[in-house]
Structure 1
Amino acid sequence: MAGASPCVKYSMFVFNFVFLLCGILILSIAIWIRASKDGQGAVNSGDNGANSHSSVNMLIAVGAITVVMSFLACYGALKENRCMLLLFFIGLFPILLMQLTAGILAAKFKPEAERALKATLRESAQLLSQTNEEGRKFQKTMVTFQKEFKCCGLISGAADWGSNFEEAYESCKCSNPSDSCITYTGRNVYKQTCEPVIRASVSNHLDVVIGLSFGLAAVEVLGMVFSMILICQIEKR
């Protein structure tokens, strides 16, 4: 008897090849978010940070598993291997649950994570005017951040630096006077503080987690449908 429909078989292959690319994408972005310095404030902020951490770690696991499963599905579709396709279908179900859980966790704790981050940044602003080892370490990081994102201070702008302003001035310096500059102790510095920049970056990272979670969940449902159709056709031959 004839094998599975070539249309379904190659559609399944193409679908899972795209799914493989999606798995690589989610794995790459999740690792990027996990390692991003901008996002550390959110994922390290108390209990809410632990939940955000869990969401990203879950996405890393899902991405890795998805890559392996998609490869098996591509091979199973080309070779019309019922065992591999069934394994793909069964394995996709817990991945779907994990994907939805990660998205729900990220969506649920996003407002709390943002509030915790805001509170953490207000506490961190006090380190800018200190002279101890902890303060110096944080100040070094802030100087680099200010240069890159053209902002100054965290909450109150250049005033956050206190007596340390002279050391941080070059990173706060606004070369071309405009609406983006203000005067502090007779010098032009960036009007924009770094707090909204950091908060926007963290919020964007969380949005990526949420979008990937629910977007790939829809793709996974289609994968299960394709695999079941192909399994049924193979059984009938």
Structure 2
Amino acid sequence: MGCFGFLKVMMFLFNGIIFLAGGAILGVGVWVKVDSGSLLGVLEEIEDAPAELDQLLNVGYLLIAVGGVLLLMGFLGCCGAMKESRCMLLMFFVIVLLVFIAEVAGAIVVLVFQPLAEDLIKKVGDKAVEVIKRDYGTNSDITGLWNATMDGLDCCGFYDYTDFTHSPFNNITTAYPTECCKLGPCTLQNAMRTNATGCFPKLVELIEDNSVILGAVALGIAALEIAAMAVSMSMYRHIGSKRG
């Protein structure tokens, strides 16, 4: 197998993985939009939510768009390599280049508007606590969602156990969710003694602990994109020289 044949095989395998990943992301996006019992479905029902939360609710459409782009990119890469189509390879190069530029622009926007993101998180947190105090213990969707979240992240409330004070659950039982206490009945005293970490601080801690991994993954994706562009252009020129 010559160098060009090796590049064809690698392009096919690499873009085959992209195609499958795109299909999976597209499926998740569709599921998020049609499943009213999902987290986003519950958020959509929150009254008087911050205006910025509307952008979060569009994540289903974002996943559908990303999945569609990856499907198209994988298709063009696979078929362009196997059929030695210069048109498909050029389209593949353009799409990867646009994705790369969008990622760089997105990273810049995140860095520049980080204070706004922190303000949004505070607004969402305040609204989440309001929902807990109003609905936890009476609304089955809200109660089930928070129980699953607290059990999965091993946390208590958005900030801490005080989020549940004067909630319907607390008013009826004078207790707190079991996730807020390590031992014994989850009374106010046991909750204060346990002082379990809130889900938001827990999530921030999880992201910070894995920031190096996330950075390495981002750099790896950028390197793969640059390599994909280089290989596609190399094949584009090689096919052109053969036909010339």
> What TM-score do the two structures reach when normalised by structure 1?
0.64
1:109-149 alpha-carbon deviations (Å, 9 max, x no partner):
4553244223432354345444xx79944863445544554
Corresponding position: 1:233 with 2:235: no
Q: Which moved more, 1:112-121 or 1:21-30?
A: 21-30
1:124-181 alpha-carbon deviations (Å, 9 max, x no partner):
4345444xx799448634455445545444445257422741447363363635xxx9
When the two chains are superposed, the root-mean-square deviation of aligned CA atoms in Å is 4.7
Tell me by how many angstroms 1:67 deviates: 1.9
Indicate which of 162, 168, 192 corresponds to 2:196: 192
Q: Distance in 2 between matches of 1:189 and 1:30?
A: 41
Tell me by how many angstroms 1:99 deviates: 3.2
| Number of equivalenced pairs | 225
Q: Distance in 2 between matches of 1:161 and 1:66?
A: 46
Tell me by how many angstroms 1:203 deviates: 5.3
What residue in structure 2 maps to residue 78 of structure 1?
82
What residue in structure 1 maps to residue 73 of structure 2?
69
Indicate which of 92, 116, 135 corresponds to 1:112: 116
Tell me by how many angstroms 1:183 deviates: 5.4
Does the 8 Å CA contact 1:30/1:209 hold for their aligned counterparts? no
Could you say what secondary structure the match of 1:89 adopts? helix
Indicate which of 166, 175, 178 corresponds to 1:172: 178
Does the 8 Å CA contact 1:114/1:199 hold for their aligned counterparts? no
Q: Which moved more, 1:113-122 or 1:79-88?
A: 113-122
Tell me by how many angstroms 1:24 deviates: 4.9
Could you say what secondary structure the match of 1:5 adopts? helix
Aligned pairs for 1:1-237 (under 5 A) are 5-21=4-20, 23-24=22-23, 37=39, 45-47=50-52, 49=53, 58=62, 60-130=64-134, 136-137=138-139, 140=143, 141-143=145-147, 145-155=149-159, 157-158=161-162, 160-162=164-166, 164=168, 165=170, 166-167=172-173, 169=175, 171-172=177-178, 174=181, 176=183, 184=188, 191-196=195-200, 199-200=203-204, 215-237=220-242
Tell me by how many angstroms 1:226 deviates: 0.6
Q: Distance in 2 between matches of 1:73 and 1:22?
A: 14
1:40-62 alpha-carbon deviations (Å, 9 max, x no partner):
98xx7544x46666788556423
Report 1 or 2 for greater relative contact order, CA contacts < 8 Å, sequence distance ≥ 6. Answer: 1
Q: Distance in 1 between matches of 2:110 and 2:31?
A: 16
Q: For 2:231, give the aligned amino acid.
A: F
1:6-26 alpha-carbon deviations (Å, 9 max, x no partner):
233323323333443554566
Q: For 2:99, give the aligned amino acid.
A: I
Structure 2: which 5+ runs fail to align?
44-48
Does the 8 Å CA contact 2:89/2:232 hold for their aligned counterparts? yes
Q: Distance in 1 between matches of 2:11 and 2:197?
A: 51
Tell me: CA distance 1:123–1:190, structure 2 relative to 1, closer, same or farther (3 Å).
farther
Q: Distance in 2 between matches of 1:30 and 1:120?
A: 22
Tell me by how many angstroms 1:105 deviates: 3.6
Q: Which moved more, 1:10-19 or 1:20-29?
A: 20-29
Tell me by how many angstroms 1:68 deviates: 1.7
